[in-house]
C-alpha cells in the first residue's frame, strides 16, 4: 500500500499561522505523526507540500506514474478555487480523501465550496491532525 499525503499553500506554516485555528504543532510534527503511523501499519507514505498550484498538479500526476494507491490531500486555499486540482485527481483516478484541519463548514462563506470534493471519496474536517490519520486508515481499508 502506497499513499501520497499532499498539503497545499501555507500548510508549511503550521504552528505559526493562526494557531487558534490550526493549532501550535508544526508541519514537521504532522509529517512525523503520519510517518510513525504508516510505519506501524506497514504503509509506504510520501508527504509533499507546495505553495504552488501547478506543482501540486505535477505531484498528483506523478502519483499515477509512481503507482500510488491512495491520495490524502489538504489543498489549503486551493480547495475553494482550483478546478486544475480537481481535473488532475480525475485524470489519475486514484482513490482520494480530502482533509481540512479546521471545521471549514463553520467558517467564511467563501470556504463553503470545495472543487476537490467533487472527486474525493470522503472529506474529513475539523479533526486537526487526526483527520490525516483517519484518511490514511480509510484508504488502507478500502
What does the binding site for ligand DQA look like in residue numbers (CB under 6 A)? Answer: 10, 74, 76-77, 79, 100-102, 104, 111
Residue closer to ligand DQA (CB basis): 39 or 105: 105
Label each residue of the chain as H, E or C. Answer: CEEEEEECCCHHHCCCCCHHHHCCCCHHHHHHHHHHHHHHHCCEEEEEECCCHHHHHHHHHHHHHCCCCEEEEECHHHHHCCHHHHHHHHHHCCCEEEEECCCHHHCCHHHCCCCHHHCCCEEEECCCCHHHHHHHHHHHHC
Residue closer to ligand DQA (CB basis): 8 or 70: 8
Q: How far is the CB of 79 from ligand DQA (least distance, A)?
A: 5
Q: How far is the CB of 17 from ligand DQA (least distance, A)?
A: 8
Residue closer to ligand DQA (CB basis): 1 or 128: 128
Q: How far is the CB of 65 from ligand DQA (least distance, A)?
A: 26
Residue closer to ligand DQA (CB basis): 3 or 74: 74
Q: How far is the CB of 118 from ligand DQA (least distance, A)?
A: 16
Task: Reply yes or no on whether 37 is catalytic.
Answer: no
Radius of gyration of the chain (CA): 14
Task: Reply yes or no on whether 22 is catalytic.
Answer: yes
Catalytic pick among 78, 100, 115, 132: 100
Q: What are the backbone angles phi and psi of residue 45, rounded to the nearest 5°?
A: -130, 145
Catalytic pick among 22, 115, 119, 132: 22
Instruction: Please give the positions annotated as active site.
Output: 22, 100
Amino acid at each position: 500500500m502506497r499513499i501520497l499525503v499532499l498539503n497545499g499553500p501555507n500548510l508549511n506554516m503550521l504552528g505559526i499561522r493562526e494557531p487558534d485555528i490550526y493549532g501550535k504543532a508544526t508541519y514537521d510534527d504532522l509529517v512525523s505523526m503520519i510517518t510513525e503511523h504508516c510505519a506501524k501499519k506497514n504503509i509506504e507514505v510520501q508527504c509533499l507540500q507546495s505553495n504552488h498550484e501547478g506543482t501540486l498538479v505535477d505531484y498528483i500526476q506523478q502519483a499515477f506514474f509512481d503507482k500510488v494507491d491512495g491520495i490524502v490531500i489538504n489543498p489549503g486555499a486551493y480547495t475553494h478555487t482550483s478546478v486544475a486540482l480537481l481535473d488532475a485527481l480525475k485524470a489519475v483516478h486514484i482513490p482520494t480523501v480530502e482533509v481540512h484541519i479546521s471545521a471549514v463548514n463553520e467558517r467564511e462563506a467563501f470556504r463553503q465550496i470545495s472543487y476537490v470534493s467533487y472527486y474525493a471519496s470522503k472529506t474529513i474536517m475539523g479533526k486537526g491532525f487526526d483527520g490525516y490519520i483517519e484518511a490514511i486508515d480509510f484508504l488502507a481499508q478500502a
